[in-house]
Amino acid sequence: MRTWRWPLSIAALTLVQPCIAWSQQATVVAQPENVNVQVNVASPICLDGGQGHIFDIKVMLGLPTAVRVQIPFDHGTDFSYAIEGTIGEFPGYFGSETFYSLGARASYTLGNNFFGGHFLVNPGIDLQYFGGNESALAGTASVEMLWLSEFNSHLGWELGIDVGIGVGIADFDHHDRAGQVFPVISAFTGLRF
């Protein structure tokens, strides 16, 4: 019996030896030296710095009290440019007359992970037409400052303020609105899709 154990041990060692050598070689090959690897993983919640939306709609309370829709026509990871339309009222300045507005607005992401969302600053200009008894044409320049929380790439909630100044350009009913300066200050909330 002893004569059979010796050849079996040699045979087993002969079969195992390449595996031991192979695993030692694999260990050496699998450990590269001085390699720096940087992996950037984008969270699905923070897509495009808040700028990857198709349109947004917001409700504004103050001066003006209005509904605004913005549609971007160009955007990057931290900026976008949009056209906007607004319909509402400027209580106290143009009576209770409805105004219609068309304008352009830029949007810049200044901070990601700002209270779990994005901090955006959006300067813009608008041309407004006030109808009714006090029909007039006015221009406004304002800046939206907002916090945006994105739920996914096509839905976000925003909360902010719009601050600026307006000036009457033309008066159509002789109420002396041309040259009149008025404030723009509203709080708003809205959704981005």
CATH of the domain at 108: 2.40.160.20
Task: Assess whether pLDDT exceeds 80 at residue 170.
Answer: yes
User: Which of 2-11, 32-41, 118-127, 166-175 shows the lowest mean pLDDT across its residues?
Assistant: 2-11
Residue 28 domain-assigned (yes or no): no
**Hey, what are 41's tokens?**
């993983």
pLDDT band for 50, please (50, 70, 90 cuts).
confident
Task: Please give the mean pLDDT across all residues of the chain.
Answer: 80
User: Which of 67-71, 88-92, 146-150 shows the lowest mean pLDDT across its residues?
Assistant: 88-92
Task: Assess whether pLDDT exceeds 70 at residue 159.
Answer: yes
Per the structure, the count of domains in the chain is: 1
Q: What are phi and psi of 180, to 5 degrees?
A: -70, 130
Most confident of 6-15, 20-29, 44-53, 180-189: 180-189
Residue 177 domain-assigned (yes or no): yes
Residue 116 is classified by DSSP as: T
Q: What is the pTM of this model?
A: 0.71
Residue 12 domain-assigned (yes or no): no
Q: Measure the CA dihedral 72/99/126/185, to 10°.
A: -100
Residue 19 domain-assigned (yes or no): no
What integer pLDDT is reported at residue 33 of this predicted model? 63
Residue 75 domain-assigned (yes or no): yes
Residue 125 domain-assigned (yes or no): yes
Q: Which domain holds residue 148?
A: 47-192
The mean per-residue pLDDT over the stretch 145-164 comes to 93
